[in-house]
Amino acid sequence: MQNIFASAFALALVLGSAAQAAQDKPASDLGPVGIAATAERTLEVKPGTRYLNVRNGETVAIRDGERSVTWFVQAAPHINLVPLSRILPGSADGKDVLIYIAPGHQYQDF
Domain ranges, ordered by start, for the chain: 1-110
Share of the chain above pLDDT 90, in %: 37
- Residue 20, pLDDT > 80, answer no
Cα-flanking dihedrals φ and ψ of residue 64, to 5°?
A: -130, 95
Q: Rounded to an integer, what distance in angstroms lies between the CA atom of residue 64 and that of residue 105?
A: 27
- C-beta of residue 94 within 8 angstroms of C-beta of residue 64: yes
Q: Rounded to an integer, what distance in angstroms lies between the CA atom of residue 12 and that of residue 35?
A: 37
Q: Rounded to an integer, what distance in angstroms lies between the CA atom of residue 61 and that of residue 39?
A: 6
pLDDT digits (tens, 9 = 90+) for 39-73: 999 999 998 999 999 999 999 999 998 888 999 99
Q: Identify the CATH number of the domain defined by range 1-110.
A: 2.60.40.2280
